[in-house]
Structure 1
Amino acid sequence: WQYFYLYVILDVFSRYVVGWLLADHESAELAEQLIAESCHKQGIARDQLVLHADRVAAMTAKSMAHLLTDLGIEQSHSRPYTPDDNPFSEAQFKTMKYRPDYPQRFDSQEHAYAWARAFFPWYNHEHHHVALGLLTPATVHFGQATEVIAKRQATLDAAYALHPERFVQGAPVPPPLPTAVWINPPTHPDAAFPTMAELPSLAQLPLPQSG
């Protein structure tokens, strides 16, 4: 038997997979490479991001802590013996493994890579996520949710105007998008956090400088 390791970085709010890597071994160096490349591609500025991960060796290595410090990223880990501290990642992997075309086994690393390369674009751009009001992760991640929800509402309004008798519960509305997502919700009842309208879009964020 040979095992392959799939590294995945998931944006918790949008569920968008911002980076992934398939390898035949687990190492801090590979994880660091993926994190650095993903942050650059996403235009992540310093003091903007919290990276939550399990307590695997690659994510608790000193070199990983140094990289995150250099990138200005706050580090967070699941509590020991608490598997549900990383539910969003677990849900994404469940979605992957329950796909109809997920094989019982991969014949080679190339086979596994080809399957993953087809899966992640589907997951990001075609999968209508229940927790996102049936929007795709890409729609939410790239700030298109408001526009899509408005179009859905217009379609529902038109249907209701033509046949109100079909809607026994009144005028329909599309499922809402969550305003906040937490791994561990804050305990202070008066804690104030920015709304989605107050958060910067990717286009507004400064790109990291090279050199």
Structure 2
Amino acid sequence: MIFAAIADWADAKEYSVEFMCAELGVSTSGYYAWRTRPASARARADEALLRLIGVIFERLKGNPGVRRIHAELAAQGHRVARKRVWRLMRGAGLQGRHPRAWKKTTIHGQRPVSAPDLIGRDFTARKRDQRWCGDITYVKSWDGWVYLATVIDLHSRRVVGWAVADHMRTELVTDALAMALRQRRPKGRVTFHSDRGTQYTSNDFARFCRKNRIRRSLGRTGICYDNAVAESFFASYKKELIHTRPWPDLESVKKATFEWIEMYYNRTRRHSTLGYLTPHEYELGFRHIHELAA
């Protein structure tokens, strides 16, 4: 470890080798013998593993942290300790992105609404297309604000419907729900959970839900935890996509959102809630990440 530290400092030209060896109580001949010694099998294995980690880090667009890198390695059949992955990533300066501060955007409806909270913070579902949830978030572009509405299946955390527009009218959320209905064609009635924003408490939204046999569920006013899955999705969306670059206009946001949701979030990004499976893998019936490498 002492020789490795000396090598780092020497390569950075911070101190001379002779000075460091004298200060740390080791011989210069011992250091140069260590420096010219062939790499150990462990060091060679670490080097190969770090190359693989670098490829995974580059492929996963959200700059994943240690847990997701470790999960991706496991899915590929590599049984390594998480601490080893942490050590190699730290040494290579590979670090996941962190979310920015959350900002409240919900505009609460003024009229009293009779729809109950049918979820009660139980964000699970035994089967697909039993319980969905949704919300709206915003993106600032050079041309003005752009809004995204989503529909998420609580069984697999898959985004089954979404819509992007330059407004927050009720059709934004009904368009997202309409996409979900087209893609999933649920056999029975679906419970859709949301906050009490004006779009979800409007008469137009109520009519849409009645027409499509959707059972409405509303969280309490001002309690973000009552719609935690939707909030968590938006935190990832902002951190891993929106905050990585400027956005010229509505079309650029829509195109990137399509690619991020349909190609990355649903099929590639590993979810801690699902045991680091992707929503696609979970809906295929996998329940443990090591099953993928079997």
Query: Common fold, TM-score beyond 0.5?
Result: yes
Counterpart amino acid of residue 92 in structure 1: F
Task: State the TM-score, normalizing by the size of structure 2.
Answer: 0.48
Q: Which of the numbers 174, 180, 205 marks the counterpart of 1:64?
A: 205
2:243 and 2:273 map into 1 onto residues whose CA distance is 22
Q: Greater shift after overlay, 37-46 or 81-90?
A: 37-46
Distance 1:81 1:11, change over 3 A: same
1:136 and 1:10 map into 2 onto residues whose CA distance is 14
SS of 2:244's partner is coil
Contact 1:128–1:134 at 8 Å: present in 2 too?
Answer: yes
Q: Greater shift after overlay, 95-104 or 107-116?
A: 95-104
1:42 and 1:34 map into 2 onto residues whose CA distance is 12
Q: Which of the numbers 217, 230, 236 marks the counterpart of 1:76?
A: 217
Over the matched positions of the two proteins, sequence identity in percent amounts to 26
Counterpart amino acid of residue 35 in structure 1: L
Query: 1:199: which partner in 2?
Result: none
Query: 1:168: which partner in 2?
Result: none
1:9 equivalent to 2:151? Answer yes
Cα distance, 1:104 vs structure 2: 4.9
The structure with the largest alpha-carbon Rg is 2
Query: 1:113: which partner in 2?
Result: 254
Cα distance, 1:100 vs structure 2: 6.5
Contact 1:27–1:58 at 8 Å: present in 2 too?
Answer: yes
Query: 2:239: which partner in 1?
Result: 98
2:176 and 2:254 map into 1 onto residues whose CA distance is 15
Gaps of 5+ in 2: 1-141
Contact 1:78–1:86 at 8 Å: present in 2 too?
Answer: yes
Contact 2:150–2:173 at 8 Å: present in 1 too?
Answer: no
Contact 2:192–2:217 at 8 Å: present in 1 too?
Answer: yes
SS of 2:151's partner is strand
Query: 2:172: which partner in 1?
Result: 30
Counterpart amino acid of residue 208 in structure 2: L
Cα distance, 1:132 vs structure 2: 0.5
Distance 1:42 1:149, change over 3 A: farther
1:23 and 1:118 map into 2 onto residues whose CA distance is 16
Q: Flag as ranges the 4+ runs of structure 1 deviating above 3 A.
A: 100-105, 146-152
1:150 and 1:88 map into 2 onto residues whose CA distance is 26
Higher RCO, 1 vs 2 (CA within 8 Å, ≥6 residues apart): 1
SS of 1:95's partner is helix
Contact 2:161–2:178 at 8 Å: present in 1 too?
Answer: no
Contact 1:46–1:71 at 8 Å: present in 2 too?
Answer: no
2:207 and 2:242 map into 1 onto residues whose CA distance is 39
Contact 1:46–1:73 at 8 Å: present in 2 too?
Answer: no
1:129 equivalent to 2:271? Answer yes
Contact 2:195–2:227 at 8 Å: present in 1 too?
Answer: yes
Counterpart amino acid of residue 228 in structure 2: P
SS of 2:163's partner is strand
Counterpart amino acid of residue 37 in structure 1: M
Task: State the TM-score, normalizing by the size of structure 1.
Answer: 0.65
Gaps of 5+ in 1: 155-211
Contact 2:276–2:289 at 8 Å: present in 1 too?
Answer: no
Counterpart amino acid of residue 191 in structure 2: V
1:139 equivalent to 2:281? Answer yes
1:101 and 1:5 map into 2 onto residues whose CA distance is 12
1:144 and 1:14 map into 2 onto residues whose CA distance is 10
1:19 equivalent to 2:19? Answer no
Cα distance, 1:148 vs structure 2: 6.0
RMSD of Structure 2 on Structure 1 (CA): 2.1
